[in-house]
Structure formats: C-alpha cells, structure tokens
Amino acid sequence: MIKKITNISDQGIICDFGEEVNKDINKKVISLFNYLKEKSNKNEIKGIYNIIPSYNKLVVHFDLEKNNSHKIKEIISSIDLKKLTLSQLGKVWTVPVCYDDEFALDLENLTKSLKLSKDQIIKTHLQTEFYVYMIGFMPGHPYMGDLDKKLFTSRLLSPRVQVPIGSVAIAEKFCIIYPYISPGGWNIIGKTSIKLFDTKNLTNPCLFSPGDTIKFKKVNKSELK
Amino acid sequence: MEQIFFEVLRPGINSTFQDKGRFGVQHMGLAPGGAMDYQSFLLSNVLLNNENNTGSIEFAYQGPLLRLVKGKTKIVITGNVFFKIHSQKGEIIGEPYRTYDLNEGDQLDILATKSSVYGYLSIEGGFKLDKFCGSVSSQPRAFIGPNDGKKIELKDKILINKNSIIKENKIIRNIKFEEKKTYSVLPGPQFHYFSTASKKQFFSTPYLITKQTDRMGMRVMGKSLENLVNSNIPSEGIIKGAIQVPGDGNPIILLSDHPTTGGYPKVGSIISSDYDDLIQQNSNKEIYFQLVTLEAAEQQFALYIEKIKRKIANIEKI
C-alpha cells in the first residue's frame, strides 16, 4: 500500500510503497500505473506528461498549467488500491542467450567470487523464471528479478565505459539486458540478439512490459542473429 | 511537388531537431527530451504563426550555416544569438525574435550564442520531419528522432514543409536576457538523507557549473553533500531538474535527456520556472541554490507563464 505521497518537483509527485522490493509490492505499483494511465488517456486526469513505475515507487509528472499536485494527490489518495487488480496478465518471453566466453565478460571472475563453476552459474540462471519489475534508464532496458540467492553479487567496482549491445548482466538480485552500447557496471554473463526497443514499431516500440515473465534459453553463437 | 530545402554547410555544435518533447512514454525507458529552453522554442513558433509544437533546430554555442537551395521561407531565431543573413542584397546582422524572409540561394549563418548556451531556428510551416511517439525531438544516444536521431551533419538536406505565404514580418522588442544568480530548489525525495550541516552549505555557498554539462545533465562543483543514509537507492522515476547526489557527494542536475530512472538519492529539484534560465548558463559560472516552498514554486510558475503571455501579446508587425 502507499505509505506516503510527496512532491518531488512543482510538476511531479512520488507515491512511496515502502522500502521493500518484491513482486507483490511491484504488482501494486503497476496496477496503480495502469489505472492512472487509463484515466489520463481518457483525459479524466488532465495534463499528465508521464507516469513512471519502478520497483516500489510511482512518479507522476504533470503540466502545472493544467493540473497541480494537490489535485493529483487527492485523486490517488481516493483510490482503493485493494480493488485494483492487474487488468492484464504479463506476457511470457523466451530470450536466447549465448554464454560463450567472448560475450560473458565477467563469468570467469564470478566463478571466483561466487565459488561456483561456469556451468553452475549458467544452469542457475537458466532455471530462474524472471519477472520484469520495470523498464528504465534507457529505452527498453528491463530490470528483472529475482536471481537465485547463489548468484547475488555486487556491481563492478569500476563501471565499463562501453558495454556491448545485448549484454545480459547481473547485480544484487537482478538481471538486466543492455539494449544499446552504453556505460555500465553490471556483471556480464552472456549476450542476446533480441531487440528490446524498436523505433520502427510506432505503436509498441518496447518489447517487454513490467509484469512480464522472462525465461532464458541457451544458444550457440551461430544462433544469435 | 518540388522539394524546398536547406543544405547544411556547417552543422554547428550539437544541432538537433526539438519540439516540446515526447510524453506518455517514460515507462518504456524513453525520456521526454524536447527543447531545453521551452520559452525560446515556443516564442519562435508563435512569431511564425506556427502550431506551438512545431519542430525547431536547437543549437548550442555555435549554430549551423545553412543555404536555402530551393524555395522561399520565413525564419526566426530565438535565444541570445548572433547571426548573419547573406542574400543578393548583401549581408545583414540578424536580430533574434524577429522574422526574416529567405529566398533561393540565401545563407543563414548562426555564429554564436551570446553569454548563453541554446538557441532555436524555426521556419514558417516547419521542417519536414517524421514523428516518433508524437514528437520529432532527437535523442542521439538512443537513436531516436528524425534521421535515427543523429545530430545535424555537414551536407544534410533539411526539407521544408511549404513555401512561405505570410507577407509581413514580426518582432518582439526589448527581450531581456536575465541572468539569475540564485536558483530555487524544492526538497527531493531523499532530502533527509543528507546532513543538516552540508545542506546548509548547499543552500548558502556558490557552485560552479562545470564543462561536464550537456542535454543530459549539469555537473556543478562546490561543497560536497554528506549522505548519512545510503548513496544508492532502488531506482525510481526521474523528472528533469532533479538534483541527484552520487557517492562522491557532488551534485548533478538532471536535464531534459536524463535517464528515465536512477538509483542515486536526490536532495532536491530546480523549480520549473527557473529551468529555462539555468540551462542557458555557461560553464564556469557561479550559481547559488535557495530552498523554497511548494507554494512559492507554484507562484513563480504562474508568473513565468504570465511573462510568456506578455511577450506574446507584445508581438508587433514590422
């Protein structure tokens, strides 16, 4: 449930669902996101620029010429979150990953810090059914969880200046995929050729949505497109 | 139909197409982007009787040199900009916030922004651009925008929607370029993470705008902020103007092309009415921050809108 709603700007508020990060709380965040988005699309809430769900927070960015934080807080406070259910079930995706050494830049180091063999790390990663908590940072960039406890690890001490596109990486209890070449500090364990954000797709450019389920499938280098 | 277009003889620094930005998409990891100085962008379109959200060319420091290869167009430049127009009649030094007619073969040379960063070039009827998610704004890092979001490059052909039909020219006289020294800040979601003493310093000592500043963020140098709780938080949504403080304690003000979510605590947020002014400040300038209330920020915003309306009301025919 929402612990508090506060201003983060004169044109933005944040709904705080607490400090914990888990699927149940995230599902509440997403159900409120879906509800507000629908209201905004129907213009029943005016002047909404963006609604941004994350693990356990929801940010609403609005146009102060058309609305204000007082009114938006009132609308959100009046919603009975218990009655909101996820209107649509998440999709299930299978993502091909190649774990070859040339792509899995940090796998070798992880075998030392996690005290597991490469095969054990790969097998554990493949056995996990991931849940998409949020899309953020860059277009199409998913934050997925939860990793098996055996794979919990911290970020690299010094982030890479350039992470190759499609890198599958882990840190803490999460797994991500880099949709673009970018800087990044997560531990890279493989590569996928799946396109996470497609600007040619004008109606639905982003492949995954929060709430989707992701399974990974091991493939050979030749099977990466 | 015959194409009407500019040829790029010099692209300038960081010249991109921008409109108000892209909305309803941030949950997909796509930042709103859009013109850094919304007010200057808006006035450029109003002066040309364009629809308010028509795409402009935004440039930083030095703008492009363009030659109108075919057609006839009306242009306006907004911001504090030094530019020249070369035509058959000779060369003139242009005034910003005034429309000009360009004929075939004329060249527009946008030389420099004066003690500011961003300027805007708009044309009557707009450039011929494809929209993505309702906007033409370019985000080169994500390959989003016209021509895959690329910055404007040498020899690019920039298409124009239609020939100019408006006869008269317009001007807004006596535009003042204010230079604020102090920027107002509302507390951020992790305001309480920082020590009282270091916040007191943050709101009383000067900060220098560093060269590590672009459309994504502005790094400022001054007294560092002391985090008493945690320098990492679970990533949460970001709005432009947010002041995030990474582990080293040096604040970064997130600007229009900010990441959509971030895991650093935020001490505050620049109030909306101060944003256009802040992003126009050059590096090496010293600025101050002051903490204000939400009511004060909302009042300032109403004044900001009022000021824009007054400028629009002051548009004169020449």
Report whether pLDDT(A88) > 80: no
B82 and B35: one domain? yes
Q: What secondary structure does DSSP assign to B67-84, as a single string?
A: EEEES-EEEEEESSEEEE
Domain residue ranges in chain A? 4-83, 92-223
Q: Across the interface, do B25 and A50 touch by the CB < 8 Å criterion?
A: yes
Chain A from 204 to 223: CB within 8 A of any B CB: 205-206, 210
Q: Across the interface, do A8 and B259 touch by the CB < 8 Å criterion?
A: no
Q: Is residue B318 part of a domain?
A: no
Longest dimension (CA), chain A: 58
Q: Across the interface, do A10 and B294 touch by the CB < 8 Å criterion?
A: yes
Determine the distance in angstroms separating the CA of A19 from the nearest CA of chain B, rounded to an integer.
8
Q: Which of B122, B137, B170 is the last residue of a domain?
A: B170
Q: Which of B170, B195, B224 is the last residue of a domain?
A: B170
Chain B interface includes A21 (CB < 8 A) = yes
B111 and B70: one domain? yes
Please list the residues that pair with A191 across neighbouring strands.
Answer: A98, A167
**What is residue B1's predicted lDDT score, i.e. its pLDDT?**
64
Percent of residues, chain A, with pLDDT higher than 70? 99
**What is residue A96's predicted lDDT score, i.e. its pLDDT?**
97
**What is residue A158's predicted lDDT score, i.e. its pLDDT?**
83
Q: Is residue B244 part of a domain?
A: yes
pLDDT level of residue A193 (50, 70, 90 thresholds): very high
In the three-class reduction of DSSP (H, G, I as helix; E, B as strand; rest coil), residue A13 is classed as: strand
Q: Across the interface, do B235 and A197 touch by the CB < 8 Å criterion?
A: no
Average pLDDT, rounded, for chain A? 94
Nearest CA in chain B to A172: B234
Which residue, among B19, B20, B25, B27, would best test binding to A if mutated, counting the most A CBs under 10 Å from its CB?
Answer: B27
Q: Across the interface, do A210 and B297 touch by the CB < 8 Å criterion?
A: no
Nearest Cα neighbor of B224 from B205, B198, B187 is: B198
The whole-angstrom distance between residue A25's C-alpha and the CA centroid of its chain comes to 14
Q: Which CATH number describes the domain made up of A92-223?
A: 2.40.100.10
Q: Across the interface, do A8 and B266 touch by the CB < 8 Å criterion?
A: yes
Q: Across the interface, do B186 and A10 touch by the CB < 8 Å criterion?
A: yes
Which residue, among B148, B150, B236, would best test binding to A if mutated, counting the most A CBs under 10 Å from its CB?
Answer: B236
A14-45 pLDDT, tens digit each: 999 999 999 999 999 999 999 999 999 999 99
Chain B from 191 to 230: CB within 8 A of any A CB: none
Determine the distance in angstroms separating the CA of A206 from the nearest CA of chain B, rounded to an integer.
6
Nearest Cα neighbor of B18 from B207, B210, B149, B179 is: B149
B3-59 pLDDT, tens digit each: 999 999 999 999 999 999 999 999 999 999 999 999 999 999 999 999 999 999 999
Count of the separate structural domains present in chain B:
2
What is the 3-state composition of chain A as percent helix, strand, coil, each rounded to the nearest 5? Answer: 25, 30, 45
Residue B192 lies in domain: 182-310
Chain B interface includes A143 (CB < 8 A) = yes
B153 and B26: one domain? yes
Higher per-residue confidence, B197 vs A185: B197
**What is residue B266's predicted lDDT score, i.e. its pLDDT?**
98
**What is residue A87's predicted lDDT score, i.e. its pLDDT?**
61
Highest CATH level, class, for A4-83: alpha beta
In the three-class reduction of DSSP (H, G, I as helix; E, B as strand; rest coil), residue A92 is classed as: strand
B109-125 in b/e form (b: 16+ CB < 10 A) is bbbbbeebbbbbbbbbb
What's the average model confidence in pLDDT over A144-164?
92
Cα–Cα separations (whole angstroms), residue B42 to B55, B56, B163, B308: 10, 9, 21, 9
Chain B interface includes A174 (CB < 8 A) = no
What's the average model confidence in pLDDT over B104-129?
97
